[in-house]
Chain A
Amino acid sequence: MMDAGRHPNIRLLTYSDVIDVSGYIGQFKVKVRQRPRYVDTTLCTGCGACVEACVYRKGVPNEFDAGLSKRRAAYIPLNGQGVPMKTVIDKDTCVWLSRGKCLKDCIKACPANAIDFDQKEEIVELNVGSIVVATGFDMFNPKRLSAYAYGKSPNILDGLQFERMSSATGPTKGLILTAEGKKPERVAIIHCVGSRDEHANRYCSRVCCMYALKHAHLVRDKTGAEVFEFYMDIRAFGKDDEEFYQRVQEEGVYFVRGRGAEVVVLNDGKLQVKAEDTTLGIPVQIGVDMVVLETAMEPQRDSDKVASLFGISRSASGFFQEAHPKLRPFHTNTEGVFLAGTCQAPKDVPDTVAHAGAAAGEVLSLLGRGTVVISPTTALVDEALCSGCKTCLALCPYAAISFIAQNGTGVVRINEALCKGCGTCTAACPAGAITARHFTDQQIVAELEGLFAIA
């Protein structure tokens, strides 16, 4: 993370969105909108004085701690460990920016004079030869499956919240505690929440079995609590994963084979997990004081927009579609655009890194070549015949056609680097002004005549 932050060849554009992509392999033009942080990053030293001073003490849920802690309007991302390690002021929370009234103690506190409420968004234009899409995944929201009672008790956590609780940089400094501040005595871990489920996602998220086992280990290790793990199958297929599964079994975790069906919050606040133990063939009910829902990895919520921005398609599961499931697993159908990591499908860290390294290799090979060969089988407009009716303009799926106005009317022109020779415009042109090279009328008619020349 830090290496990427200080590499001389990497320019970080954080708090930014790609808003437009044009061009083609070798020559993409990209527009990026950088949102204002309201802090001059060239001055901010990341000392945190403004964060300390921010009057918004009530706070809002801290995204980094998956809502387990609060942060103020001014904050340093990743609980102070962000890259870049610079304050950001969240405009929706900041009292000055959202309501126009605040003592602005942050400004008074900042020794570097870095706070700047006049900052505006900036549009940055970039020219690149290749693009890697690595937009990752979203967590499944277990509220969508009401049987798990998520949100009804602070002791029902999702997978990411458990990670934050167990992390030394998290809200409990790594202690696993119930909301009452006590070590739990019995913990239930439920697999496949939002995965392998007709009511949510049909696919297997591939990673949750392993992180569920990791969570079981951490609970045993840190609290000694009894752990009941509800699973349908354990998918421990990665390198060293089966050995890890055995190790967790030896640590004394109770494995209950059967999907955790329901979590009930009892009147005294205690929790009860109901399931069918399919090995014994009996329904079971287990009382616990903490439940961890091992939630699915899902496509990013805005992946339809991102897909259309970069001209990539999506699989039935919603993750981005690779060009070939076996032979081109990090390519897309737009030449020069590659996929890396979990935006293509759920993956653990080693698989993510391997996928990303492969995509980077493809980019290096392209940049190293220095040139790309563009197929000559494109469409050609006879400007003498074109009446300027613009019929073709909107039909081209690759936006390769532009209109050139000429005294009153005009003609269209085709950008050969963008044209894929699909023939749509050729067939649509009422004036017959467009020829598809290598698919001319003469060639096609001759082919048909040849086909029917024999009896």
Chain B
Amino acid sequence: MTDDQIRIGVYVCECGINIGAVIDVPEVVRFASVLPNVTVARQFKYMCSESGQKMIQDDIKHLGINRVVVASCTPRMHEPTFQNAIAAAGLNPYYFQMTNIREQVSWVVEDPAQATAKAKRLVSAAVARVAWHAPLQARKEKVTPAALVVGGGIAGIQAALTIAEGGYQVYLVEREPSIGGHMAQLDKTFPTLDCST
């Protein structure tokens, strides 16, 4: 095994019964295990759980997995979960591809045979893609320790005071010659009838 050899791990999630009750998960795993560059393919009830993440991390450590494919739900929720998990195991988080076999397959395709066939295609695509992934580094940028608040009504005043009390510089921009907004115009305020200014 050389360092630049691509070793892909494929992890198919059952998502309880969300995926497992429609898609033939063992069949997808069997299919994935013989795809080019795939070293290991596994299934698990909840890939996003602690033990699911640990399964991936262990394979990175013990089997030398250097590319990861997770077939599960929408990446909106858990892409960062898996990226963080593989980064914690020492792999670049962009050596990762997620494919959505829940929202885009098991929740919308009724026929199990068709659903399984579509899941296979998606896994095949993800495996082919991840082989071309490059390591990328997220950059960190400094934050200027000051805030702008636009509008000096009660909302802007409240926000400005809270931020200023935290020790930061605040610029409060108001288009009228005085701050105060509508609340300064009110007499007493409901429901307590206390004065507003």
A453 / chain B contacts, CB cutoff of 8 Å: 124, 128
Give the size category of A's interface with B: 35 or more
Q: Roughly how many angstroms separate A210 CA and B129 CA in the complex, as a whole number?
A: 59
B174 touches A16 (CB 8 A): yes
Most chain A CB atoms below 10 A, which of B125, B162, B181: B162
Question: Across the two chains, which residue of chain A brings its CB closest to B158?
Answer: A356
> Given contacts A134-B151, A373-B140, A451-B124, is CB(A356)–CB(B156) below 8 Å?
yes
CB of B107 within 8 A of chain A?
no
Report the count of interface residues on B (CB-CB < 8 A): 74
Over the window 360-390 of chain A, the binary record of Cβ atoms lying under 8 Å from chain B Cβ atoms (1 yes, 0 no) is 1101101111111111110000000000000
B129 near A84 (CB under 8 angstroms)? Answer: no
Contact of B125 among A310, A348, A450 (CB under 8 A): A450
Residues of B within 8 A of A240 (CB): 191-192
Q: Once the chains bind, are A440 and B179 in contact (CB under 8 Å)?
A: no
Q: Is the interface of B mostly helix, strand, loop or mixed?
A: mixed
Residues A37 and B177 in contact in the complex (CB < 8 Å), given A375-B138, A417-B141: yes
Q: Does A405 contact B (CB under 8 A)?
A: no
Asked whether A127 and B144 contact (CB < 8 A) given A132-B149, A133-B151, A213-B190, the answer is: yes
Residues facing A in B159-194 (CB within 8 A) are 159-193
CB of B126 within 8 Å of the partner chain:
yes
Give residues 269-302 of A contacting B (CB, 8 Å): none
Is B131 an interface residue when CB atoms closer than 8 A count as contact?
Answer: yes
B179 touches A135 (CB 8 A): no
Q: Are A341 and B141 in contact (CB under 8 A)?
A: no
A15 touches B177 (CB 8 A): yes
Q: Are B176 and A164 in contact (CB under 8 A)?
A: no
Docked CA distance A167–B41 (Å): 74
On chain A, the residues within 8 Å of B153 by CB distance are 134, 136, 341-342, 352
Q: Which residues of B contact A226 (CB under 8 A)?
A: none
Could you jot down 6 A-B contacts, CB within 8 Å? A28-B148, A81-B197, A359-B159, A374-B141, A376-B94, A454-B124
Binding site for B on A (CB under 8 A): 1, 3-5, 7-18, 25-28, 30, 32, 37, 64, 66, 77-78, 81-84, 86, 88, 126-137, 160, 163-164, 166-170, 174, 210-211, 213-214, 217-218, 238-241, 243-244, 306, 310, 340-343, 348-349, 352-353, 355-357, 359-361, 363-364, 366-377, 416-417, 437-438, 440, 442-444, 446-454
